[in-house]
Structure 1
Amino acid sequence: MAPLSETRESLIIQVKNPENRVAWEEFVSIYRPVIVRTAVARGMQLADAQDLAQQVLLAVASAISRWEKRDKTTRFRHWLSKITRNAIVNALSRGPKDRAAGGSSIQELLAQYQQPDVETVSLIDWEYRRELYLQAARIVQKDVQNETWQAFELTVIDGMSNQEAAEVLGKSLGTIYTARCRIMQRLRDEIAEMEASEQ
């Protein structure tokens, strides 16, 4: 994914333009894995979850032009989680012979279950944050030296102490600490930039 410029319009606004393929590809790269992991977590097989993600993305593509942020509390992810939850419930409750038949419109998906599903909303939010981290990590890892990334990986991801990482990498404790802090700040900055693009 290309770095996001500070003056860039909201990703959601860009996706509303059907001609903007770059925005749609970025949107899909963020939300497809979120939908798939959410569906798997809710009990679907991976292949079915991938099919469901395609169905949800098609439904979003056909209805996103009508989505509007009404106030500061309106979140696109809540709208997406409602669509995803309804699609999951539909897929899990259908019999095997009609499971592959798609074609539900966005209005049907939204109308079937009016009650908010806190668990799915929470899961979508968690998976969304996870996906932002993974995308930010890919960006940051390309921009830093291998040893700097290793220091971060050993201490933050693998849970090794700074002292142990310093011994493994043959670096000073201060170098490990600095590398870890720099990477964490870069990740925060990248994630904040990605989130700002969806406001």
Structure 2
Amino acid sequence: MFQIKLSTLFCKMKDDYSTSYTLLNRACADNDAKAWEELISFYKQYIYVIIRSMNIAKSDAEDVQQQVLVQLWKYLPTFDKEREGTKFRYWLSRVTRNQTINFIRKQKSYESKLNKAKDFNEVDQEIPIAEIEEREKKEWELFISNKAMENIRSHFSDKAIEAFSLARKGMSPNDISEKVGVSADSVYKYISRIKLKLIEEIKYLRESLDF
């Protein structure tokens, strides 16, 4: 019975993601604030990843994130989803970076904090666009990977998740077996099943959110 409920919840979550492009259309075309709130909830974690990657302290990151959300809604009319090669996540990333740079500039220790931002295109125009795009790609993959793991976590036991986490850190199946308190055979099964589910979820999230 419990498994059926989890499955139902997982399907509902997938249905929610599948509406993301529709929500964007409604937000852009109708200035629909409710649609925007629903849409941006899928990307808040990604925004946070970008902000933290720019060396913003945890104590400041949430405040910056709120500022970014305000600016994203403000500048939504400038997003041209019909333009060839334009992706919503690229636009979202650039607005987030620009707003984070603005935050850095406002700090009292402007000179020292500016040095942290010099790796970003908005501050140092000499950095090749290819390098910026590669950085954005890594941030996006980190977000998708973390989100996928978060989504599938409830489908596995705590021991299975612990075994998989330890395997990702490089621990051998035998050592994991000893630490978690299960057989080595169970460890192999845990890792295999979680990998398959994780790959499936990553694929789904890319298709649903990367537009």
Length-normalised TM-score, structure 1: 0.70
- Cα pair 2:51 2:100 within 8 Å, conserved: yes
Which of 8, 13, 18 aligns to 1:3? It is 13
Q: Which residue number in structure 2 is paired with residue 105 of structure 1?
A: none
Change (3 A) 1:89 1:145: closer
User: Distance between the aligned counterparts of 1:145 and 1:121, measured in 2?
Assistant: 37
Q: How does 1:16-165 map to 2 (within 5 A)?
A: 16-18=25-27, 19=32, 21=34, 24-25=37-38, 27-28=40-41, 30-64=42-76, 66-71=79-84, 73-94=85-106, 96=108, 121-156=133-168, 158-165=169-176
Size of the aligned set, in residue pairs, is: 179
Paired-residue identity, %: 23
* Per-residue deviation, 1:54: 1.8
* Per-residue deviation, 1:186: 0.7
User: Distance between the aligned counterparts of 1:148 and 1:91, measured in 2?
Assistant: 41
What is the SS of the residue equivalent to 1:166? helix
* Per-residue deviation, 1:47: 4.2
* Per-residue deviation, 1:142: 0.7
- Cα pair 1:77 1:125 within 8 Å, conserved: no
Higher relative contact order (CA 8 A, sep 6+): 1
- Cα pair 1:38 1:123 within 8 Å, conserved: no
User: Distance between the aligned counterparts of 1:50 and 1:128, measured in 2?
Assistant: 19
* Per-residue deviation, 1:189: 1.1
1:13 aligns with 2:22: yes
User: Distance between the aligned counterparts of 1:149 and 1:95, measured in 2?
Assistant: 41
Q: Superposition RMSD on alpha carbons, in Å?
A: 3.3
- Cα pair 1:37 1:127 within 8 Å, conserved: yes
Q: Which residue number in structure 1 is paired with residue 208 of structure 2?
A: 197
Q: Could you list the runs of 5+ residues in structure 2 that have no partner in the other structure?
A: 1-9, 109-121
- Cα pair 1:81 1:121 within 8 Å, conserved: no
Q: Which residue number in structure 1 is paired with residue 3 of structure 2?
A: none
